[in-house]
Amino acid sequence: MSVVEQAVAVGGPELEQVRRLVTEIPGPRSRELAARRAAALPAGLTSAQPVFAAAGGGGVLVDVDGNSFIDFGSGIAVTSVGNSAARVVARATEQLQQFTHTCFLVNPYEGYVEVCEALNRLTPGDHEKRTALFNTGAEALENAVKYARMATGRTGVVVFDHAYHGRSMLTMAMTAKNTPYKKGFGPLAGEVYRSPMAYPYRAPGGAERATADALAALRDLIDVQVGADQIACVVLEPIQGEGGFIVPSPGFFPAVAELCRERGILFVADEVQTGFARTGDMFACEHEGVVPDLITTAKGLAGGLPLAAVTGRAEIMDTVHPGGIGGTYSGNPVSCAAALGVIESIEQEGLVERARQIGTAFLGRLREIAASSPVVGDVRGRGAMIAVELVRPGTTEPDPAAVAAVVKYCQERGLLVLTAGTYGNVLRFLPPLVMPDHLLAEGLDILSEAFAAL
């Protein structure tokens, strides 16, 4: 058996937990596939890493040339319980053998109901809740807006600078960054209004004033520019993901929820990236005791199978007429089985607590790196959702070239890291929560060397 065949045969959590490079990066097999890809796929569909995957599990990803990488990305916060996690595979396999699809709009099944019950139980707040399932994060956001509009009879949607909510026609308008997400794809959906983010590192009036200034701007937008009675919902990520892992300055997130309550506007927490133990709480809202009216989830929900959800107050969710919501594949039975395996893994393996431990390990090492590297402008994050923002030394000017150099250095040494940020100058770390300590430490050593080499 070749190295790759072995890796595939023992995929999932059984995969040997080592970093091992056996070819140059990318290797010959990845280069061959890249050539086929270039001839078959459109140019605008790109990948951050040049290596084709063969197997994944625990804290590693093995490529088609047999190289084993330490994975600090989890496929963008998706495989939090590990790739091909045992409970996910067992439940999904069983479901695959029973039936793969009926369409929930045609014949319902128990797995869908069970996932909704679990989300109603796990999401913040003791109020009566209902959940509806979808396929992608963007689709969940689209539907959260539909529910909010129906329940309030209003149309306006307020979002923030640096927000990311997806790439569909509505969510593209809700997403802040033009390139690559919106450029040339307009006209954009209307009735979307944007307010400044309380971004401590880049607050125009300084970090101490970040909350007060951003709140004043939001109040002005709501009360003066748009009119509270025109606004269905305010949508905010508890920690902004694609925008650069921006942790809002203290008090901002709960104050936005409170302002919404006072104005009769629904508060939607977009936990597509922050959800499912990632930030050291089951949901990031819990950190500041916020109970949103609606919460959107996806990424970490089903261990890599497509599944997303909107969970909300029963009286909001029940306003939509029969048949008003749904989709052919929404809440696919195999995805539902996988989600139940994910939830069981998080609860049984103590992954909420594990995310906190990972956060402590990362923040400690990254602060050491920051102390000796003048390109590190900011270190931030919570739990296993951590980032560093790179700038030209002595300024706050974004340095995306330094980020690219660190990513390349790490990749060539067998460590996969992702980038983010409105200015492309943020390195983000989202390791699978099941990554063993020795791989975390080894990855952080490589990262440290990468900064020293800049």
Ligand X SMILES: *Cc1c(COP(=O)(O)O)cnc(C)c1O
Contact 129, 123 (CB under 8 A): yes
For ligand X, the closer CB: 165 or 413: 165
Helices 333-348 and 110-122, axial angle in degrees (round to 10): 40
Q: Which of 124, 137, 303, 333 binds ligand X (CB under 6 A)?
A: 137
Q: Does 162 bind ligand X (CB under 6 A)?
A: no
Nearest to 312 by CA among 139, 156, 143: 143
CB of 268 to ligand X, least distance (A): 11
For ligand X, the closer CB: 170 or 379: 170
Site for ligand X, residues 189 to 218, rule: CB under 6 A: none
For the record, the structure tokens of 340 come out as 């139940």
Q: Does 279 bind ligand X (CB under 6 A)?
A: no
Q: Does 161 bind ligand X (CB under 6 A)?
A: no
For ligand X, the closer CB: 58 or 137: 137
Rounded-to-10 torsion of CA 161, 163, 166, 167: 20
Contact 46, 179 (CB under 8 A): no
Contact 72, 451 (CB under 8 A): no
Q: Which of 4, 62, 138, 172 binds ligand X (CB under 6 A)?
A: 138
Q: Phi and psi for 422 in degrees, rounded to 5? A: -55, -35
CB of 444 to ligand X, least distance (A): 24
CB of 136 to ligand X, least distance (A): 4
CB of 47 to ligand X, least distance (A): 15
Q: Which stretch binds ligand X (CB under 6 A): 9-17, 21-29, 266-274, 442-450?
A: 266-274
Q: Which of 65, 270, 293, 378 binds ligand X (CB under 6 A)?
A: 270
What is the C-alpha separation between 286 and 279, in angstroms, rounded?
Answer: 10
Site for ligand X, residues 1 to 40, rule: CB under 6 A: none
Q: Phi and psi for 270 in degrees, rounded to 5? A: -90, 100
Contact 327, 139 (CB under 8 A): yes
Q: Does 298 bind ligand X (CB under 6 A)?
A: yes
Q: Does 134 bind ligand X (CB under 6 A)?
A: no
What track of x and - describes contact with ligand X for positions 91 through 120 (by CB under 6 A)?
A: ------------------------------
For ligand X, the closer CB: 269 or 450: 269
Number of H helices, E strands in the chain: 14, 15
Q: Does 136 bind ligand X (CB under 6 A)?
A: yes
Residue count at the site for ligand X (CB under 6 A)? 15
For ligand X, the closer CB: 19 or 380: 380
Q: Does 237 bind ligand X (CB under 6 A)?
A: yes
Q: Which stretch binds ligand X (CB under 6 A): 268-276, 287-295, 336-344, 428-436?
A: 268-276
CB atoms within 10 A of CB 220: 12
For the record, the structure tokens of 73 come out as 């990305």
Closest residue to bound ligand X by CB: 137
CB of 292 to ligand X, least distance (A): 13
CB of 347 to ligand X, least distance (A): 23
What value does the CA radius of gyration of the chain take, rounded to a whole number of Å?
22
Q: Does 164 bind ligand X (CB under 6 A)?
A: yes
What is the C-alpha separation between 338 and 216, in angstroms, rounded?
Answer: 43
| Cβ-defined contacts of 377-380 (< 8 Å, 24+) | 377/201, 378/201, 380/200, 380/201, 380/245, 380/246, 380/247
Nearest to 51 by CA among 78, 24, 72: 24
Binding site for ligand X (CB under 6 A): 136-138, 141, 164-166, 237, 241-242, 270, 272-273, 298-299
